[in-house]
Structure 1
Amino acid sequence: MAGPGDTGSVDARRMLVQACLNGARELAQHPRLTADATLAAADAARAVAAGAGDIHVHPKDAAGHDSVAPDHVAEWVRALRAACPGIPIGVTTGAWTEPDVERRLAAIEAWTELPDHASVNWHEAGADEVAVALRRRGVGVEAGIWDGTGFEAWRDSPVRGECLRVLIELPDEAADVVRTHAEGLIAHVRAEDAEVPILLHGEERSAWPALALAVELGLDTRIGFEDTLVLPDGRSAFDNAALVRAAMGVVSAS
């Protein structure tokens, strides 16, 4: 895979494009957002057919709220595995799913259907403990870094070296600041670990500029309804597969 600063073409077969299916969005924000794991799994299968090589999902309860409860995680992971055989499945462990760290840890310890990986936001309280619990269960850890606070917590973490990848996550911000923001965080991560895979992505206004920058720099990336509901031209995306197809178009054009 090309490294940062390499402006050569990107090999789409080697660059990971992860589909982030839903996020913490309200179901009313798009007709394809659902609390039904089976429907979400069908959407995921279409995204994989469009080129996604990995799935990130927020398991939901019946009301559509994010959950780390063992029964919800099992239902969603099982449905996605059945629909997308051989594709790694990841879930969230965001603090909003269960604000009490001890209860969140207990939920992870009680998971019966283990995802391949789970994201941990390192700016949140209890990140180290959550990462340790995941690794103890054999679940890979995606280290979510939004800002300097998260970076410093990850840098000083005793489990930093066990992370599957680092997610550099850009907030909803103007396209003209995406490069500066992203390259600053990338440089900090690379100074600590030159080899850890980096997945760069943004949300809302920064989603497509961040994806294009990831392709330029030869980094992994992601796209899906968690990050944006619109295609690069601003039109509403029909489903996650439409977003992945657009992303693969950016990759193949590089």
Structure 2
Amino acid sequence: MLQACLNGGRTRDFHAAVPLTAAELAHDAAQSVAAGARELHVHPRGADGAESLEPDDVAEAILAIRSSVPGIPIGLSTHWRIPPGGKARQRPIEQWSVLPDYVSINLVEVDAAEMISLVMGKGIGVEAGIWSVSDAERFVALPDAPRCLRVLIEINEQDAEEGLSVATGIISVLQQADFSLPILLHGDEASVWPMFREAMARGYDSRIGLEDGRLLPSGKRAADNADIVRAAVLLARAY
């Protein structure tokens, strides 16, 4: 499965084609799905362009995307820094009425277990974001871990060999715990394409898009999200 991560916390300073508004997200969603993406990961924005978990902003983004690409699963980020930040971000999430299909929750965050319980209680799937071996060890000890949608191995290391080492350590912890959840492996910036290739070689899911990086495998700057997705589909065929 190929997931398109359309915007993250990026601004137009990073790339002129970063989608911010609900309409822009819906447009990029349609283009990315046409290019081969099968799921979407987005960061809704408020009127000021900043990331938002407020119910109205979330609803606007989800409804626009669903109108554009009916039936395509939509995931949101819940990361610690999104306003109002910290544990306070649980309050707007509790008020969501238009729900995403899943959210990503980072195990490095102190309230990860609370967040998992909160969103599962609303019927939302969970991508368990794991950045390190210690994150993986924390995750496999959680009672709710087997109920998660998938494990999201997120490699932030910029050196490819270092990133592969971290990924291998995480995978080892999951295997020792006899976890059978699907795994999505992806990188960031310099590690985007090395991790994508590793995911394809292992038969894992992966993700690609302007949240993670703006370059094509050739090193050329991509035109937009759909351009990156097309490159990933072509590369995946080799596997």
TM-score by length of 2: 0.96
Distance 1:112 1:94 in 2: 19
Q: Which residue of 1 aligns with 2:102?
A: 117
Q: Which residue of 2 aligns with 1:133?
A: 118
CA distance in 1, matches of 2:53, 2:12: 18
Amino acid at match of 1:158: P
Q: Establish whether residue 54 from structure 1 lines up as the match of residue 5 from structure 2.
A: no
Amino acid in the other structure paired with 2:204? L
User: One-letter code of the match for 1:235?
Assistant: K
| Structure with greater contact order relative to length (CA < 8 Å, sep ≥ 6) | 1
8 Å CA contact 1:27, 1:64 repeated in 2 = no
Task: Name the residue aligned to 1:31.
Answer: 16
Q: CA-to-partner distance for each residue in 1:157-190, whole Å, 9 max, x for gaps?
A: 2211111000000014122333222122111112
Contact in 1 for aligned 2:104/2:129 (Cα 8 Å): yes
| Counterpart pick for 1:214 among 171, 181, 199 | 199
1:100 aligns with 2:104: no
Q: Aligned partner of 2:132: which letter? A: D
% same residue: 43
Deviations for 1:215-235, whole angstroms, at most 9, x for unmatched residues?
A: 000000000001111101111
Letter in 2 for 1:188: V
- Tell me what 1:149 maps to: 134
Question: Hey, what's the Cα distance between the residues in 1 that align with 2:228 and 2:20?
Answer: 20
Quote how far apart the aligned CAs of 1:150 are.
1.7
* Corresponding residue number in structure 2 for 1:10: none
Q: In the aligned structure 2, how far is the partner of 1:223 from the partner of 1:125?
A: 27
Q: Is the 8 A contact 2:159 2:190 kept in 1?
A: yes
Using the TM superposition, give the Cα deviation of residue 34 of structure 1 relative to its aligned residue in structure 2, in angstroms. 3.2
**Residue in structure 2 matching 1:189, options 170, 174, 190:** 174
Structure-1 residue corresponding to 2:159: 174
Match runs of 1:235-254 below 5 Å: 235-254=220-239
Residues 30-72 of structure 1, C-alpha deviation per residue, up to 9 Å, x if partnerless? 1111321101210111100111000000111122211111111
Structure 1 residue 244: deviation in Å? 0.6
Q: Secondary structure at the match of 2:66?
A: helix
Gaps of 5+ in 1: 1-15
Q: CA deviation at 1:148?
A: 2.5
> Are the aligned partners of 1:178 and 1:206 in contact in 2 as well (CA < 8 Å)?
yes
Asked if 2 retains the 8 angstrom alpha-carbon contact of 1:21 and 1:226, the reply is yes
SS of 2:154's equivalent?
strand
In the aligned structure 2, how far is the partner of 1:130 from the partner of 1:180? 28
1:26 is displaced (CA, Å) by: 2.3
Q: Which residue identity lines up with residue 74 of structure 1 in the other structure?
A: A
Q: Is the 8 A contact 2:105 2:126 kept in 1?
A: yes
> In structure 1, how many angstroms separate the alpha carbons of the residues matched to 2:23 and 2:63?
9
TM superposition score normalised by structure 1: 0.90
Q: Which residue of 2 aligns with 1:19?
A: 4
Task: Name the CA distance, whole Å, in 2 between partners of 1:179 and 1:95.
Answer: 25
SS in 1 for 2:127: strand
Equivalent position SS for 1:181: helix
Structure 1 segments, 4+ long, off by >3 Å, are: none
- Structure 1 residue identity aligned to 2:118: A
Aligned residue identity for 1:18: Q
SS at match of 2:13: helix
1:153 Cα offset (Å) = 2.1
